Amino acid sequence: MRLRLFSKIASHPGGEACVCDIADVGVSQPTVSHHLKKLREAGLLTSERRGTWVYYQVAPSVVAAMSAMLDLRA
């Protein structure tokens, strides 16, 4: 579930998404929020509150690490 949510955020237009954008994963919205919180606590996502919604992005350090990893494999 967390990998699916991470992937949905990473591939979402603009590189960010709120729960309302990605809640169609087959579990309840509170469960989605719980998993997003765990991904944020692990340092994989960053978040920003805008009004009543929290928007999530892949953490810049994660993007840099993934980019470096892909460069090593080439």
Read off the CATH number of the domain in which 63 is found: 1.10.10.10
Task: Work out how many domains the chain is built from and give that number.
Answer: 1
pLDDT at 74: 53
- Are 50 and 33 within 8 A, CB to CB? no
Which residue segment(s) compose the domain that 37 sits in?
2-73
Which secondary-structure segment (H or E) carries 39? helix 29-41
pLDDT at 24: 84
pLDDT of residue 45: 94
Nearest to 16 by CA among 54, 53, 46, 57: 57
In the prediction, which pLDDT does 71 show?
77
CA angle in degrees (0–180, nearest 5) for 61-9-36: 80
Average pLDDT per block of 10 residues along the chain, 74 residues long: 90 88 86 92 94 91 76 65
